[in-house]
Each structure stands twice: as C-alpha cells, then as structure tokens.
A and B are shown apart, each in its own frame.
Chain A
Amino acid sequence: MSDREIDQQLVERIQGGDKQAFGLLVSKYQRKLYRLLARLVRDPAEVEDLAQETFIKAYRALGSFRGESAFYTWLYRIGINTAKNYLAAQGRRVSASSGLDSSEAESIDGGERLRDLDTPERQLMTRQIARTVDEAMADLPAELREAITLRELEGLSYEDIASAMGCPIGTVRSRIFRAREAIAARLRPLLGTRADERW
C-alpha cells in the first residue's frame, strides 16, 4: 500500500466512526502543516492555533472527503484558506512572496523560517530533536544507517533497497525497523508526553 492508500484507509476508518484514527493523521502531518502556516503567519502562538483549527475543520469536513486528491493536499488547502481568513480578519493580506498553493504543499521546507519565528523554548526543543536524530543516525551500524537513509531520504522502495544493498527484502525490512527503533529510543525521552497529554 502506498502512503496515499494508507492515508485513505485511515480516512475510511474515521468516516466509519473511529475518531482515534484521526490522531494518526494529525501526528503524521502536524509538522508539515505547521511549517506551511509559519510561512503565512508570523506569530508562533497563532500558527499553532491555526494548525489546530485546520485539523478541526478537516475533521468536520471528512464526511465529504472522497479521496479525489491526496489527504495532505486537501488538508493543506484547508490550512491555507484558514490562514488567509485569519489574515483577512486581521486586516492583512497574504504576501505575494509566500505564493503558496496546494501544489507546493509537499515541497515546503520552512526550517530557516521556523528558527526565526519560534519561541526560545520551541527553538531549544527543535534543536534537541534534530541533534538527537543526527547522533542516533551516526551511531547506527553502517548497514542500518544505509538502509534507513535509502528509505527516508531517497524514498526508495524495499525492493530497490534490497537490490542496492544486495540482500533479501526481509533483511531490508528488519534493518529499517531496527534503525527506527534505535533512533526512536533516543527520541522518546524528548517526546516524554505527560500522562494527561496522551491521546
């Protein structure tokens, strides 16, 4: 199943009454959406509020979502409209330089801008997460690092990775899993969500 098909399966679960499946989509797209909105709105607190508002609007509209477009394209369209409405209410307009539409949604990299916008606490967390992932990647055995890099950075399929690394697909699956687990183990203390904040 492709990424889009996985999203569609989650959408269908939500449409069937499984509210919690929506949390998986929020978890998956929260940072991309935040980066998108941060290009339109300067205030970091407002960006988070708008991100929440976008997800709530998406949830309300999910009943009519039929999967003609990818879920994230649809979500980002809602995000942009939410931001534009917010700016219009503030008597401001979306700057031409932001020039965002849903076709650009996938390629947004607001890293530089995020560092300018975020609060000191958020900047600290951002740096810690990035450093932790870098260090965890560097500490991985070479074959695990190569497998996870080919998958996450290059976007290769398991079949292509198996061909590139000269090993069976099952080995690729296992290596990527072990790499993820090693990195996730280092990330978990940072993510330490409080019990009352778990979803």
Chain B
Amino acid sequence: MKEKLSAMFDGDADEETSRMLFERIRRDAALRGTWDAYCLLGDVVRSGAQPGMEGFVARVMSRLDGEPTVLAPRRAEDKRARRLLRHRLLPVAASVMGVLAVGGVVAALSGEERPTMVVLSPSPDSAAAVDTASGVVVDSAPPRATGVARRDYLAAHQAMSGGGPVPAAVQYVRTVSAQAEE
C-alpha cells in the first residue's frame, strides 16, 4: 500500500488507484502519517531547511470541525457528462437534425409544387397530367375536338386568303407535307 502511495506521490498512479488510495488514507491514520512524512522529506530535499510545523495540520483540521461541509457540483461528473454529450449525444443529435433538415426541405418542396407525371396521350394534341398526391388524373391538354376545329379553321382561313394558284388544294398539300415530316 505504501509503495502505491509513493508511486502516486510521483504521478505514477492512474485515477482509479489514486481514488482507492485516498479512500484508504481517509480511514487509516498511519497512512496519513506516511503522507505527512513523504511531504516533509520532499520539501527538505528540494528546498533545504523547513519550518517546524508540528501539529499544524491537526490544528487546522480541528478548526474545520466548526465549518460546514463543502458540497459543490463535482467537476469529474461535469467532465464525464460533457464527455458523454460530446461523444455520444451530439452525433445522434446531429443525425436527427440532418434528417429533419432534409425532411423539411422535401416537405417544403412538395407543399409548393407537387410533382406531376405527364403522360402523353397517343394523340400529339392531348396530354394527361396525373396528380400523384391525389391520384386524380387531370387532362390538361386541349380536347381532341379543339385540335380538329383548329385544323378546320386554318384550312378555311387559307382557302379564304387565296395564298396560292390552287387555293382549295393548298391545305391538302401542306397536310401531306407535314405528315411526311412526322
């Protein structure tokens, strides 16, 4: 035990050993005497003559009997708590915040503009937009009838404007030409 105390005195003991030794010293007056002697001889070797302080510790300790016991938040526990927070809780919190941030962005985007799937109908003139949120199919393209009417209107307009030598045939020529391109 004394060899461990000597080693602790020189900083050659881990925290757990020191804790155990201090607990032993608390209960063992002889070990406290050894601590006193080690302190004194260290002071003498390092600094030469030392003031005689016999009974000084006992006098201070007897004065402390009248003092309330010091109770303060323990630094070691604070440190442990901070270490736990730093090494375990913060990464978890960061992950949660990351997920929440991404989820928030996705929610915001879907709230502003819901994604739509556009399905082209067999006819180039019409398209159907499917609302993926509601599942309702909305035909956003002009009805097929509108395309036919427009083509009729253009044919009539070209026939009336007289844009060529055979005005009545022009519409068919162009239609055939357009079909060839497709």
> Looking at the complex, which one of B10, B52, B56, B74 makes contact with A15 (CB distance below 8 Å)?
B74
| B41/A133 in contact, CB under 8 A | yes
| A173/B12 in contact, CB under 8 A | yes
Q: Which residue on A lies nearest to B36, using beta carbons?
A: A27
| A31/B35 in contact, CB under 8 A | no
Q: Report whether over half of chain A's contact residues are helix, strand or loop; otherwise say mixed.
A: helix
Q: Which of B59-67, B122-130, B160-168 contacts A (4 or more CB under 8 A)?
A: B59-67
Contacts A22-B61, A63-B72, A173-B6 given; does A30 touch B11 at CB 8 Å: no
| B18/A1 in contact, CB under 8 A | yes
> Please, which residues of chain A bring their CB within 8 A of the CB of B14?
1
Shortest CB–CB separation between residue B164 and chain A, in angstroms?
99
> Please, which residues of chain A bring their CB within 8 A of the CB of B55?
193-194, 197
Interface string of B122-163 (1 = CB under 8 A from A): 000000000000000000000000000000000000000000
Interface size on A, residues (CB 8 A): 82
Q: Report the separation of the CA atoms of residues A63 and B72 in the bound assembly, to the nearest whole angstrom.
A: 5
> Please, which residues of chain A bring their CB within 8 A of the CB of B73?
15
> Looking at the complex, which one of B32, B43, B47, B50 makes contact with A199 (CB distance below 8 Å)?
B32
Contacts A6-B18, A184-B34, A191-B36 given; does A26 touch B46 at CB 8 Å: no
Contacts A1-B18, A56-B60 given; does A180 touch B26 at CB 8 Å: no
> Looking at the complex, which one of B40, B56, B67, B76 makes contact with A48 (CB distance below 8 Å)?
B56
| A133/B37 in contact, CB under 8 A | no
Q: Which residue on A lies nearest to B73, using beta carbons?
A: A15
Asked if B111 CB lies within 8 Å of chain A CBs, one says no
Chain B interface size range = 35 or more
| A199/B42 in contact, CB under 8 A | no
Interface string of A123-155 (1 = CB under 8 A from B): 011110110010001000000000011011100
Asked if B181 CB lies within 8 Å of chain A CBs, one says no
Asked if A18 CB lies within 8 Å of chain B CBs, one says yes
Asked if A183 CB lies within 8 Å of chain B CBs, one says yes
Q: Quick one: which of A1-30 are within 8 Å of B by CB? A: 1-3, 5-6, 8-24, 26-28, 30
| A32/B43 in contact, CB under 8 A | yes
| A21/B50 in contact, CB under 8 A | no
> Please, which residues of chain A bring their CB within 8 A of the CB of B61?
19-20, 22-23, 26, 199
Shortest CB–CB separation between residue B29 and chain A, in angstroms?
6
Q: Report the separation of the CA atoms of residues A19 and B26 in the bound assembly, to the nearest whole angstrom.
A: 9
Q: Which residue on A lies nearest to B65, using beta carbons?
A: A19
- The contact sample of 15 A-B pairs, CB cut-off 8 A, is A1-B8, A5-B15, A11-B75, A12-B74, A12-B76, A15-B75, A24-B22, A26-B61, A28-B39, A30-B56, A59-B67, A126-B52, A129-B44, A129-B50, A169-B12
Which B residues are closer than 8 A to A by beta carbons? 2-3, 6-8, 10-15, 18-19, 22, 25-26, 29, 32-64, 67, 69-76
Which A residues are closer than 8 A to B by beta carbons? 1-3, 5-6, 8-24, 26-28, 30-32, 34-35, 38, 48, 51-52, 55-56, 59-60, 62-64, 66-67, 109, 111, 114-115, 118, 121-122, 124-127, 129-130, 133, 137, 148-149, 151-153, 157-158, 169, 173-174, 176-177, 180-181, 183-184, 187-188, 191, 193-194, 197-199
Beyond the given pairs A149-B45, A158-B12, A187-B37, 14 more chain A to chain B contacts, judged by CB atoms under 8 angstroms and listed by A's residue number, are A6-B18, A9-B76, A20-B61, A52-B60, A52-B63, A56-B60, A56-B63, A63-B72, A125-B54, A152-B46, A173-B6, A191-B37, A197-B54, A199-B58
